[in-house]
Structure 1
Amino acid sequence: MSPPPARDLAGRRIGLLTASASRLGGGVFEAISAHAELLRGLRTQPVVIALRDAHSADDADRFAGCELHHVGVLGPRMIGFAPQLGKVLDAADLDLLHLHGVWMYPSHAASAWAVRSGRPYVISPHGMLDPWITGRGRWKKALARLGYERRSWHRASAFHALTRQEAADIASETRRQASLVIANPGPEPEPRPMTGRAPMILYLGRIHPKKNLSGLIRAWTMLEQRGLCPPEARLVIAGWGAAEDLAALYHALHGAPSSISFIGPQFGADKARLLAEARFMALPSLSEGLPVAILDAWAAGTPVLMSSECNLPLGFDHGAAIDCGTDSERIASALHRALAMGESEWLGMAHAANRLALGPFSRSAIARQWERAYAALINRNATR
Structure 2
Amino acid sequence: MSSWVSRRNGGVFEAVVAQADILHSLGAVPVVLGIEDEAAAQDGWRIEGIERQLAKPHGPAAIAYAPELRSLLDAAQLDLLHLHGIWQYPVKAAGDWAQRTGKPLVVSPHGMLAPWITSRNAWKKNIARALWEQGAWRKASLFHALTQAETADIAREVPAASTVSIPNAAPPARMSSAASRGPVALYLGRIHEKKNLGGLIAAWVKARDRLPPEASLVIAGWGDNAGIAALEQALPGAAGAGVEFVGTAFGSQKAALFDLARFLVLPSHSEGLPMAVLEAWAEGIPALMSSNCNLPEGFASGAAIDCGTSVDDITAALVDGFTLSDEAWKRMSSAAKSLALGPFSRDAVAQRWEAAYAGLL
Q: Deviations over 1:182-214 (max 9, x none)?
A: 000010001264547210000000000000001
Give the aligned partner of residue 12 of structure 1: none
Question: 1:358 maps to which residue?
Answer: 341
Secondary structure, in 3 states, of the residue corresponding to 2:247?
coil
1:252-281: CA deviation from partner (whole Å, max 9, x where unpaired): 112213201111000001101111210000
**2:225 aligns to what?**
243
Structure 1 unaligned runs (5+)?
Answer: 1-16, 379-384
8 Å Cα contact 1:195-1:347 kept in structure 2: no
Q: Distance in 1 between matches of 2:179 and 2:324?
A: 13
Partner of 1:187: 171
1:256 aligns with 2:207: no
Aligned pair partner of 2:85 in 88, 97, 101 = 101
Aligned runs of 1:10-49 on 2, under 5 Å?
17-49=1-33
TM-score, normalised by the number of residues in structure 1: 0.92
Give the distance between the partners of 1:38 and 1:165, measured in 2 at CA.
Answer: 24
**Aligned-pair CA distance for 1:235:** 0.5
Unpaired stretches in structure 2, ≥5 consecutive residues: none
Distance in 2 (alpha carbons) for counterparts of 1:134 and 1:377? 29
Matching of residues 83-122 of structure 1 within 5 Å? 83-122=67-106
Deviates more, 1:297-306 or 1:74-83: 74-83
Q: In percent, how many aligned pairs have the same letter?
A: 52
| Further displaced range: 281-290 or 251-260 | 251-260
Separation of aligned partners in 2, 1:254 and 1:194: 32
- Give CA-to-partner distance per residue, 1:18-52, whole Å, 9 cap, x none: 00110101000011001111111111111000011
**Counterpart Cα distance in 2 of 1:176 and 1:23:** 33
Please report how far the alpha carbon of residue 304 of structure 1 lies from its aligned counterpart in structure 2 after TM superposition.
0.3
Match of 1:210 in 2: 194
Root-mean-square deviation (Å): 1.0
CA deviation after TM superposition for structure 1 residue 174, in Å: 1.8
SS, match of residue 205 in structure 1: strand
Deviations 1:35-91 (A, max 9, x none): 111111111111000011111111111111211001001100111111111111011
Compute the TM-score of the two structures, normalised by the length of structure 2: 0.98
Q: Letter of the 2:136 partner, please give it.
A: S
Secondary structure of 2:130's aligned partner: helix
Report whether the alignment pairs 1:144 with 2:128.
yes
Structure 2 counterpart of 1:354, which letter? K
